Amino acid sequence: MADPDEDGATLLGAHLEGRFISPDKLGAQPPHAMAPDPDRLESWFVGGVVRVITFAPKIDPDGAVLAACHRHGARAQIDRTLCDWAQAHAALRAGCGVPHLIDAMGGVGPRGGNTATAALAWAEHAEIVTDGLHVHRAEFELAQRAVPGSYQVPDGTAPSGMPDGHYALGSHTVQQRDGRVSLPDGTLAGSCRTQRASLQVLRGRDLDWHALDAPSSAVPGRWPGDERIGRIGPGTLAHRLEIRDDVPVARWRGGRRHAWDAATGPG
């Protein structure tokens, strides 16, 4: 984070997707869910690396996670939870975002409500997995209309950009086959999409390059609190994608141009 490689990614911090989540909504998470521990939270935040943490509001009735985030200037998100819409609404009003919108929180039903219902009604920021499998196009377009700060992530894991086969995901062994990553029981376990491949999914959903700017760059960059992302001007990072005739030709980082190879991506 402090000294990035000239041609490498700019690391804004770490996102912890647990351990304070519902044991009944683990998905591909390991079975180590637990109630919030204030001392453990402090140890994670004190170094300044953890910028975002996801938790389940139902297992944090005392608000320990939100309090720690406020003390350390970090962001909180709600997911992997069985809370109802009222609990989710309270967390969203307190400034929480939503990762993996619709996944791991139940779909929108005709009666009652849950986290997804509250998020579509009240969230200011929500992350959507755009690998073409986790979220149907109709749900993606609904989220775009409903959430002002919706943004995309490929949710890439160890198999990203790799051939079919078996890979380690934490304590799990996952299989990548035909573009799908799953546990032995068939549960989706993240994605094998790179960011470049994820953008191609969105291009296939009729989003032009201008429409992709905010959800793929500016919004997710600023969500952890970095205002240098997503614009060009004094004090910014001057990262941008150069496009000619609808085709990426170069990536700029810190004002330096790196040619984009049509077959392999940025050189």
* pLDDT top residue among 63 and 265: 63
Q: What is the mean pLDDT of the chain?
A: 88
Handedness of CA 88, 30, 151, 132 (dihedral sign): negative
**Is there a domain that residue 197 lies in?**
no
* Domain of 180, in residue numbers: 156-192
Per-residue pLDDT tens digits for 116-159? 889 999 999 999 999 999 988 998 999 999 999 999 999 999 99
Cis peptide preceding 251, ω within 30 of 0: no
89 and 165 co-located in one domain: no
68 and 102 co-located in one domain: yes
- Pairing state between β 165-169 and 172-177: antiparallel
Nearest in space to 167 (alpha carbons), one of 187, 181, 186, 153: 181
- Tokens at 168, concatenated: 């380690």
181 and 72 co-located in one domain: no
81 and 44 co-located in one domain: yes
240 and 151 co-located in one domain: no
**Is there a domain that residue 68 lies in?**
yes
Number of domains, the chain: 3
No. of helices (H) and no. of strands (E), the chain = 8, 12
Per-residue pLDDT tens digits for 1-10? 888 787 777 8
3-state secondary structure of 149: strand
